[in-house]
Amino acid sequence: MTSDEMVWDLSQLVEKTDPPSIQKKLVSMVDEANRIRNMYHDKIKDLNTKELLKLLERKDEFILEFEGVNMYCLLMYSADSTDNVAKQLNDAVRKASMKARQATAFIDIELGKLLAANPSMVKDPALAEYEHHLERILRKAPHMLSETEERLIIMKDRNGISAWQMFQGDWLSTRTFDIEIEGETRTLPYGKIISLYQSPDRDLRRLANQTVYKDLGKDEIVWATAIRSVCKDHMQMCELRSYATPMTQSLIDNDLEQKTIDSLIKTIEKNVGLYQRYLHLKAQLMGLDKLANYDLVAPLPNAQQMDYTWEEGRKEIEAAYTQFDVEIGRWVSEMFEKRHIDGEVRKGKRSGAFCASWLAGKSAYILQSFNGKMGDIYTQAHELGHAIHAYLGSRAQKPSNYEVSSCIAETGSIFGELLLTERLLSEAEEKEKKQAILAWILDEFGMAAFQVSARVFFEQSMYDAIKQGDFLDGETVAELWVAARNRIYGDSVDWLDVMKWEWTMKPHYYIANYRFYNYPYVFAQLFVFALYRLYKEQGDEFISKLKRLLAAGSSKSPHQLATELNYDITDETFWEKGMKQAKEFIDMLEETI
Ligand SMILES: [Zn+2]
């Protein structure tokens, strides 16, 4: 399946597309970064309000001026990494942006010091547009060390704690697994064997899980040493940077308060029964008494193949968004008309999907490999939701106010998936189709809201154990993982014994300075289910509220954004709205049985 319409047009991002012109533009980017450095380095501490405003505006202009050329090079490479020009430009843009970043890295550090010394500046009316941006910098300031220390940490981390992450990734990707498929023993790398987890053949799914985790468990000493080192390093850094808890740093990065996460997690714990009810229904649909771990995200056995051409998929998605709001529907169409979506399947193309905001063009670009399956149109609807977020945000905000916290960044995208669900359900006549759609959306909800919560419990329990003086060897970490997992699943799922090694393969646990990556997924999922519930309750009145929320970008905190909807996200009442929506989908599924 391919046509010109499925290939994006990147030429809109730049004035000239010939490589020498692109290179020239990259050189001028580094020059401008150095000019900013020469003008401001070591001088930010003395700026008055007016001068500070000038600096902030210049920083934003800098981003807008060179955003297109950066995107052009990076997107071209992600679309085809075998293309020689793309390779050269990718290399050039990485070098240039590293130089530009190095030249301007002092700005936030010096800004933090300026604001810490003059906190009232944050509230100065002349800086009103940047108020929340400055609040976020001020919140980070007390945890920053001196410039020399910060540089030393970056330098030492590269071959220190960050090396564990690389080691875990390299070790995992170079493992091979022997598995018998249709009477023949095959040796598969990790990246290949995991695709068998989705196989319609239940025995094969079981065997793939059994094989992978049994083998990964044999290297427990490797994984445990790595995860223990990353956790211990983090606890030392928390002490050095005066973070109150191991979660504090991520709360600051995500623009949240502890109370919010406490109420979110409490809501999850109160509702594990609801998720378990779905898992029982899914078992019933699969003709089983109980699901095993390798059935959790498996396709339903009676699921009808739902295939779409590019045009058919486009029609469904445009209709889903237009039914919600005509302006949004028009922007979705524009993404297709202007050829901002790359759907063609080709060699050398990056796997997965993403949406890159193009603030200067008040638009976005999407990459995916479109094979016409139901999952592909869900992916497209999801990425188009990100694009709508960028359409609204870039029209209302400067780049400094469009650094959206990962908790809010998925609002447009998950909401779009729900709009598509509504549309597909309204068209589905056979019950098998309805079941496939509902299972799709509930599997995703279950994984993001509940399964990921187990990972939050797990991560927290490792820090608690270290604090208590426990030594995290492989078996101890495995026990912590099983305990965390059971808090979510109870006895609703049968686990293979080797699944106690599930934590070994998750790259996020090993990424230095990226602790508690997990709860934003839980937040985003339940937040959007709650918003969708409000839409169902309030009807059309809600549409402008959602558009305002998306248009706010990062100019307001998630807490403020919810307050404008008359909800308090530190209160469980709000999160229960999301559960109510999940319950409605589960009820709908039950009715089909
Ligand atoms: Zn997304």
Whole-number Å distance, alpha carbon 383 to ligand 1 midpoint, is: 6
Whole-number Å distance, alpha carbon 357 to ligand 1 midpoint, is: 12
Whole-number Å distance, alpha carbon 527 to ligand 1 midpoint, is: 14
**What is the tens place of the pLDDT at every residue in 321-373?**
999 999 999 999 999 999 999 999 998 998 889 999 999 999 999 999 999 99
Whole-number Å distance, alpha carbon 416 to ligand 1 midpoint, is: 10
Whole-number Å distance, alpha carbon 410 to ligand 1 midpoint, is: 5
Whole-number Å distance, alpha carbon 518 to ligand 1 midpoint, is: 14
Confidence (pTM) = 0.94
Whole-number Å distance, alpha carbon 234 to ligand 1 midpoint, is: 27
Task: Provide the pLDDT for residue 105.
Answer: 87
Whole-number Å distance, alpha carbon 159 to ligand 1 midpoint, is: 31
Whole-number Å distance, alpha carbon 34 to ligand 1 midpoint, is: 34
Whole-number Å distance, alpha carbon 351 to ligand 1 midpoint, is: 15
Instruction: Note whether 419 and 388 are within 8 A (CB).
Output: no
Whole-number Å distance, alpha carbon 353 to ligand 1 midpoint, is: 9
**What is the tens place of the pLDDT at every residue in 428-469?**
999 999 999 999 999 999 999 999 999 999 999 999 999 999
Confidence of residue 2 (pLDDT cuts 50, 70, 90): low
Instruction: Note whether 134 and 122 are within 8 A (CB).
Output: yes
Q: What is the largest CA-CA distance in the chain?
A: 76
User: Could you give the percent of the chain with pLDDT greater than 90?
Assistant: 88
Confidence of residue 542 (pLDDT cuts 50, 70, 90): very high
Task: Provide the pLDDT for residue 580.
Answer: 98
Task: Provide the pLDDT for residue 146.
Answer: 83
**What is the tens place of the pLDDT at every residue in 398-422?**
999 999 999 999 999 999 999 999 9
Whole-number Å distance, alpha carbon 479 to ligand 1 midpoint, is: 32
Burial group, residue 501, by CB count within 10 angstroms (0-12, 13-18, 19+): buried
Q: Is the pLDDT of residue 1 over 60?
A: no
Q: Name every residue whose Cβ is closer than 8 Å to that of residue 57 and which is 6 or more positions away in sequence.
A: 398
Q: Is the pLDDT of residue 304 over 70?
A: no
Q: Looking at residues 218-230, what average pLDDT do you find?
A: 96
Task: Provide the pLDDT for residue 150.
Answer: 84
Q: Name every residue whose Cβ is closer than 8 Å to that of residue 586 and which is 6 or more positions away in sequence.
A: 274, 277, 278, 281, 442
Whole-number Å distance, alpha carbon 145 to ligand 1 midpoint, is: 33
Confidence of residue 513 (pLDDT cuts 50, 70, 90): confident
**What is the tens place of the pLDDT at every residue in 253-294?**
999 999 999 999 999 999 999 999 999 999 999 999 999 999
Question: In 3D, which of 386, 395, 426, 450 has the Cα closest to residue 578?
Answer: 450
Whole-number Å distance, alpha carbon 382 to ligand 1 midpoint, is: 6
Whole-number Å distance, alpha carbon 385 to ligand 1 midpoint, is: 8
Alpha-helix runs per DSSP H in 473-551: 474-489, 519-538, 541-551
Q: What angle do CA 500, 503, 508 make, to 5 degrees?
A: 170
Q: Is the pLDDT of residue 111 over 70?
A: yes
Alpha-helix runs per DSSP H in 174-219: 190-193, 202-218
